[in-house]
Amino acid sequence: MFDIISIGDTTVDTIIVIDKASVNCDLKKSQCQLCINYADKIPISKSDLSIGGNAANIAVGCKKLGLKTALITELGSDVNGDYVKKELRKMKVNTDLTKNLKNKETRYSIVLNYRGERTILSYHAERNYTLPKIPKCKWIYFTSMSKNYEKIVPKLLNFLEKNKEIKLAFNPGSYQMKNSMTEIKKILKQTDLLFVNKQEAKKITGKDEKIKKLFPYLHKKGVKTAVITDGTKGSYSSHENEIFFTPASKEKAKAKTGAGDAYASGFLSAIVYGKSIPEAMKWGTANASGVITEFGAQKGLLSKNGIQKQIKKL
């Protein structure tokens, strides 16, 4: 039996760190803009290649914390697809449910990192999703997918209805948030654990409220436990009308790519191990603090021992 099976798109991420001292780049934080001079040569200080995507990050993060994980994802029949499988196997994530599609490309992203923040250029390869037979597991983690993912939602929900011992963790991706709120609301009815940031929580609820006031609306939609992250301000969680808060790590960020997934994998792993929600939040915060001190979504992921050491620093 698997502890966690994650479902979602997988990417190959090329991370490019733009030189902080560059006079060719600037940030306009009031307008949320990264400004680069047109037709200029932009100096970089570092580049890296890694697998990414929310589902893969969760599978790797939970595996590093000692859980048995598998990944349901669709890759292309290209060099990037081969690279993803090779890396997943190296990290001991089960790939039996991972498919390579003939004559299709693997998704990829260019991650521009400047002064600790990231801007992502993402290529969404066209998919006609199918859902394989899901083996026995404790949790399913359902996350970011592209157009046509709606086809597998009824099958997934029907599977969960027939297998009530399996719990669902849900973290909607950007395409899902922008284009399929109807499907999201269907999924929420069977969601045991929801991970969203403050902006996503507001969009799902349709309420422009403070975080603590958003939780009742999420619970009314069927969510049993909800986690709302608020960047450097910390994270909140709510279960059975009790709300918890944990401050963010004070670690200085080199890059923030994968921080949300690291938090989710830490939190979910703690829950699988029978930890309380406040302790799970500390696991999540500790794991995220490890990731932001490295470039890439997976390099800074912590082991169980690393989590305990990091918690003492929080």
Flag whether the pTM goes above 0.85: yes
In order of their start, the domains of the chain are: 2-12+52-111+124-313 (3.40.1190.20)
* Residue positions counted in the chain: 314
Please answer whether residues 74 and 101 qualify as being in contact, where contact means their C-beta atoms are separated by less than 8 angstroms. Answer: yes
3-state secondary structure 161-220: HHCCCCEEEECCCHHHHHHCHHHHHHHHCCCCEEEEEHHHHHHHHCCCCCHHHHHHHHHH
pLDDT tens digits along 132-175: 999 999 999 999 999 999 999 999 999 999 999 999 999 999 99
Residue 162: CB atoms within 10 Å? 8
pLDDT the model gives residue 125: 86
Q: Count of H helices and E strands in the chain?
A: 10, 16
Say what the alpha-carbon torsion angle 292, 236, 201, 249 is, to the nearest 10 degrees: -10
How far is C-alpha 172 from the geometric centre of its chain's CA atoms?
A: 9
At residue 304, does pLDDT exceed 80?
yes
pLDDT the model gives residue 30: 67
pLDDT tens digits along 102-144: 999 999 989 888 877 778 898 888 899 999 999 999 999 999 9
pLDDT tens digits along 230-282: 999 999 999 998 999 999 988 777 767 789 999 999 999 999 999 999 999 99
pLDDT the model gives residue 29: 67
pLDDT tens digits along 8-38: 999 998 989 888 766 667 767 666 677 888 8
